[in-house]
Structures are given as structure tokens and as C-alpha cells.
Amino acid sequence: MSMTPRENYWKVVNHEEGEWIPIFWGGTNSSIVPQHYGALCQELGVPDYKRPVGDFGTVNLHPILRERLHSDVELLALGGPHRRHLEEGLIEDAMWGFRMKEVGGYRVFPDQIAPLRHAKTIKEIEEHPIWPNPDDSAYYYGAKERAQKLYDSGKIVLGEASYASAPFFVYPWLRGMDQWMIDPYDQPDLYRYLAQKIIDYSAVILERWLDEVGEYLDVLCFYDDIAMQTGPMVSLDHYRKWILPYEKQLTDIAKKLTKAKFSIHCCGSCHDLLPGFIEVGYEILNPVQTRAKNMEAWRLKKEYGDSLTFYGGVDIQRLLPFGTVEEIRQGVKDLINTLGPNGGFLFATSHNIEPDTPPKNIIAMFDAAHEFGRYPITDK
Amino acid sequence: MFSKIVKALSDLDREKATQEVENLIGEGVDPFKIIQNGIMQGMDLVGERFEKGYYFLPDLIRAGHIVDACSSLVKPLLKSNQSSDKGVIVVGTVAGDIHDLGKNIVISTLESAGFKVVDIGVDVPVERFVEAVRSEKALLLGMSALLTVTMVEMEKVIEALRSDSDLKDVKIMVGGAPLDQEYADKIGADAYGKDARQALMKARELLN
């Protein structure tokens, strides 16, 4: 191996064949759910793993796990103030004041307890007690030193600006999912006001954070999640009118402060929204849920292989939890043969690995990626 | 007579739809027919447009709100037995799972088709499903799950119902993103509803 993971990544993400297909194991998504992290650590004999941290996927993967499972990435996440634990198991976010609950080991954000659910006026939005304080040093503490250190490792540095890069996670968590969807029709002024307010705060934090770390990043992650298993939640027209203009404000700012490629996380069948994503400036798609409608690897590669890099793809709904080791190896091989040629593929799972997945399957998957993901890709 | 409601509802025009319902009520049209031939047909069309990809979730939610507004005008006029003569359907999201968007869409669709639906909420344990089916004398149970981790709960509920001599014949329908027909068959459900429209079709088949 003569290239560093970073050098190799930049070839691949620019749609050229590097030495190998980068293995993206260690972001906030396409990771493993916290409640299953211990089982994987035990299987691999990691002696001193810490309590897993993460709302969805474990973000503090132990170095032994990264090493053993061939990870090419290091995660650099935005800091932030501590959350408050309220009664009845509710947790209140200290950045935006939305509330979450743990059910079955998962963080959920029930519409019924969204703090701005019943707001009818801009005044009521203004009265929401918790908004981010961009001057809070907790967001940026030690970021530059850590970024520099990760950069020096030669690994790919994955920047996650958390809920300063997920405006349309924040909106539905403040308003409720259903309200978020119909506000543009029922209360368009309120929608514009709240969406812009979220962007304004996000932009300042993102800008200050990127001032510190932008030069060290290889990937910068943004979040959307506006698709389901069967199709997008909203039309491309809706996306272009009500979502894109806000998201683009963030990518426009980020573009000035980092050379990193921008990744958009959108679960489910987002195929029909991809033209919109490209207009925003996203160049990497995560988590590529290949079991969802129109999201087959061959289709994505054929239609968007030149304009998007695919970060994800290994089916975590059926193949990984229920497949045999042999089936998983074959699935990995097929995925690599489909998405790998001419670059544009970052190997990862189609979301966080779920608790019903046997650890041996996880290991088999990464080992197969390491084995088959060598350029040139030939049908091995 | 009903085409104006159907059109207004399927075009998501709340004002026109409710106005037209009021007009028909004023003309003394049978309220059940307003639901059946007007509101329901309109919702069918919305469902069809959703299925074909012309409509999206915001449109379904808006349609749901219009249906609520229209139904609230008509419902007080219905004779009490009319809306429940198709039998009671109990619907809930299984234990460990709090996702309810899909479940709620299914419920509004079933209700606007004239079914009496008892929504027992989210994160529902096995015993609560059994208890609700028993106390409501339900003919059909609908279960929803969004996660592969929680969909296994459905099998436990089905086992519990099938092993209860009073409840073993209750029909069971399942749905949710990680499911498919194959899984529904495997766990012994009577039907699988891919989406709200299919759920309604299957409910009609099962209860006829």
C-alpha cells in the first residue's frame, strides 16, 4: 500500500480508481447502534471499551474496532453543551431545546412533545426558551488541535457538525413531523421564519467551527432524511421550493471554508430527489439504502455514477442481520462490482448496524470489503 | 351529486370540500352517502395519486385534515350503528416502537371508509393488544412497526391471539417499512398492507 487513506480517498471521490475502496466505518451514520456496540466489542475482544455515545450510531468506536474492521476514517464532531434529563425519561437538547426519548434503545423524537408544535405566531416561536448560543465555547473547544492530529494520521477526516448541519432534522423536532410537512401550505410565513432562524444559527456555528477545522476536513456531512422505503416524503418541487434554498445557504458558506466534499445523509428512497441534492452542492450520498425503491446499486451507478459518490449501500435490513456469512460475502462482492468501478464508492452500511445483527456477520462484511475492494475491480 | 366533493378533496381544496359537504347536508342528502360516495371516493383518489407518485406525504396529511374537517360536519348526523356495522378494528404500533405516522394514515383511511377504529397508540405490549382486541370485540387487529428490531413483536402478538380460544379467529393485518408479504406469511398474519390504500382494500376483504 503506497497511498495514504486520504490520498486514496481523494482519487476515489473524484471518480477515479485509487488503490482500494475506502472503508467508511466510524461516522455518526453507517455506524452501529449504541445498544449493540458492546456485543461487537466483546466478539472482537476489545477489553476496555467505553459506554457508547450517539443519538443514532455509536460515534466513539474503539480504535481496535476501527483497526480490525479496516476503517479508513476518523471522525471529527462538533462539540456542544450538555443535555438535560427531564422527568419520565425525556432528554432535552441544549442546543435547540427539542426533546427526545429512549424507546427500545433508540432515540425517538415524538411529535406530541415537540416544543413548538402548537405555535401559531412568530411571537410564540420567539418565546421558545432555548436557541443555540454561538459564543458557547463548548462547540469549538479543542477542535483545531484534534483536527490537526486526525489529519496527521493520514486517515480520511470526516467532519460532522451535528445539529448545526441538519436544519430539517431540527425543524420537525421543534414542530412535529406532520406540522413540518404542512406548514408550507397552512402557515407559509411561519415556515419561512422558523426555517430561516434555524439556518441563521446553524450558519454562525458552522462558520466558526469551519474557521477552526475546515482546512483539515475531507468530508463534511449534512443531514436531511426526507425519504421513506417506498419513495421521497416530499416531491422534488417541494424540495426545491421549501428545503433547497435553506440548505444551500449552509453549503455556500461551507464551500468558502473547506475543500472537503459535502455528503448528504438521506435515508430511504431519495432517488427522485437526487437532482435537487446535486443543485445544493452535495457530492456524496449516504447511506444509500439499496433495498428502498429505485435505490438499487446498479440504477444509482448508471444514472448518477458520474455526479455522486455513494457512501453506504450494504443492506442492514435483511442481508446483514439475517444473511449467512457466505451470503454476506457475496453481497459485498456484488456491491463492490457494481459501485466500485471508476471510483465514486465509499464502502459502508446502508444505515447503522441494528441490534439483531450477529457480530460475526459484521466482521465478515468488513473483511470481505477489505478482500474484494482492491482496484482494479474485476469480478472475483 | 358527489363529484364536486371528490374533486375538491382530491385537489386538496379544503374550503371547497367543506362548503360542498355543507351544501349536500343542506339539501338533505343521506350523510352516510356523503361519506361513502363523496369523502371516501375523494380519499381513494388521493391514495391513488399517492401510490402513483403524484402526491407525497404533505399532500396525504393535508387530505387527512380535509377529511377530518368534512367528517366532523357529517358525523353528528350519522345514526350510531352506521359507522360501526363493518366491525371494530384495533390498531397499534408494537412494543419498543414509537413510530406512528404510517399507522395514523392507515387509521384515517379506515375511518373515512366507515370503519370504527380503536387506536391503542404506540409502544404497545403484547398483553395490551390482546386485552384491547377482547374488550373492543374487534374483528380485525392491525399492527405497525418501523424497525426490524421491533417487527418481531408482531409474531408474539399473533401467537398470543391464536392461542386464546376466544380470539383465535380474529383477523390480523400487519404493515410497516421493514415488512413484506413474505414476512407477514411467515409470522401467520392474515394480510399485509403495503400502504394505507392497500390496508383499506385488505380490511374490506377480510371483513366481508
B69 vs A: CB within 8 A? no
For residue A48, what is the DSSP state? Answer: T
Q: Which residues from B are below 8 Å from A231, CB to CB?
A: 53, 56
Answer with the residue of higher pLDDT: A101 or A345.
A345
| Cell numbers given for A86 | 427531564
Q: How many residues does chain A have?
A: 380
- One-letter identity of residue A276: G
Residue A1 has pLDDT above 70, yes or no: no
The C-alpha angle with vertex B63 and arms to B41 and A293, in degrees rounded to 5, equals 95
β-bridge partners, A313: A348
Q: Which of the residues A102, A230, A273 would you substitute to probe the B interface, choosing the one with the greatest number of B C-beta atoms within 10 Å?
A: A230
CATH class of B88-207: alpha beta
Contact yes or no for A233 and B195 at CB 8 A? no
State mean pLDDT over A29-37. 92
Model pLDDT for residues A170-182, shown as the tens digit of each residue: 999 999 998 999 9
Place of cell 414542530: A175
**Can you tell me the distance from the alpha carbon of A290 to that of A301, in angstroms, rounded to the nearest whole number?**
12
**A110/B148 Cβ within 8 A:** no
Per residue in B3-18, pLDDT (tens digit) is 999 999 999 999 999 9
The whole-number average pLDDT for the span A318-333 is 97
A-B C-beta contacts closer than 8 Å: 63
CA distance B23 to B16: 10
Q: Which CATH code for domain B3-77? A: 1.10.1240.10
B58 touches chain A (CB under 8 A): yes
Contacts of B98 (CB under 8 A, 6+ apart): A101, A103, A108, A110, B122, B123
Among candidates A319, A334, A337, A282, which has minimal Cα distance to A304? A282
* B59, three cell numbers: 399532500
Which residues from chain A sit within 8 angstroms of residue B123, using beta carbons? 103-104
What end-to-end distance do the CA atoms of chain B give, in Å?
Answer: 27
Sign of CA dihedral A36, A39, A45, A49: positive
Residue B81 clears pLDDT 50, i.e. is over it: no
Q: Confidence class of residue A242 from pLDDT cuts 50, 70 and 90?
A: very high
Q: Do A231 and B150 touch (CB under 8 A)?
A: no
CB–CB contact A355 B101 (8 Å): no
pLDDT for residue B103:
87
- Do residues A281 and A239 touch, judged by C-beta distance below 8 A? no
Residues on chain A touching B101 (C-beta within 8 angstroms) = 177-178
User: A380 falls in which pLDDT band (50, 70, 90)?
Assistant: low
Answer whether B206 touches A (CB < 8 Å). no
B150 neighbourhood in chain A, CB within 8 Å? 104
A239 pLDDT above the threshold of 50 = yes
Q: CB under 8 Å to B159, separation ≥6 — which residues?
A: none
In the numeric block, the cell 406532520 is attached to: A178
Residues 6+ apart with CB under 8 A from A1: A19, A20
Among B62, B98, B156, B179, most A C-beta atoms within 10 A, so best to mutate, is: B98
Question: Is the CB of residue B93 less than 8 Å from the CB of residue B143?
Answer: yes
Which chain A residues are closer than 8 Å to B68 by Cβ? none
* In contact, B97 and A103? CB cutoff 8 Å: yes
pLDDT in tens, A282-323: 999 999 999 999 999 999 999 999 999 999 999 999 999 999
Are A294 and A271 contacting, i.e. CB atoms less than 8 angstroms apart? yes
Of A227-231, A233-237, B63-67, minimum mean pLDDT range = B63-67
Identify the DSSP state of A286.
E
Cell numbers of A251, please? 453549503
CB B12, CB B64: distance < 8 Å: no
Hey, are the CB atoms on A104 and B178 less than 8 Å from each other? no
pLDDT of amino acid B84: 53
State how far the Cα of B131 lies from the Cα of B133, in Å rounded to an integer.
Answer: 6
pLDDT at B98: 75
CA quadruple B51, B56, B62, B65: dihedral, nearest 10: 40
ipTM for the complex? 0.85
3-state SS, A56-74, equals CCCCCCCHHHHHHCCCCEE
- Across the interface, whether the CB atoms of A178 and B101 are under 8 A apart is answered yes
Q: Are A274 and A308 in contact (CB under 8 A)?
A: yes
- With vertex at residue A334, the alpha carbon angle to CA A10 and CA A22, rounded to the nearest 5 degrees, is 20
| Whole-number pLDDT of residue A87 | 82
pLDDT value at residue A110: 82
Minimal CA separation from A234 to chain B, in Å: 5
Does residue B191 contact residue B205 with C-beta atoms inside 8 Å?
A: yes
Most confident of A95-109, A197-211, A222-236, B135-149: A197-211
Assigned architecture for domain A5-372: Alpha-Beta Barrel (3.20)
Distance between CA A44 and CA A38 in Å, rounded?
Answer: 10
The residues spanned by each domain of chain B are 3-77, 88-207
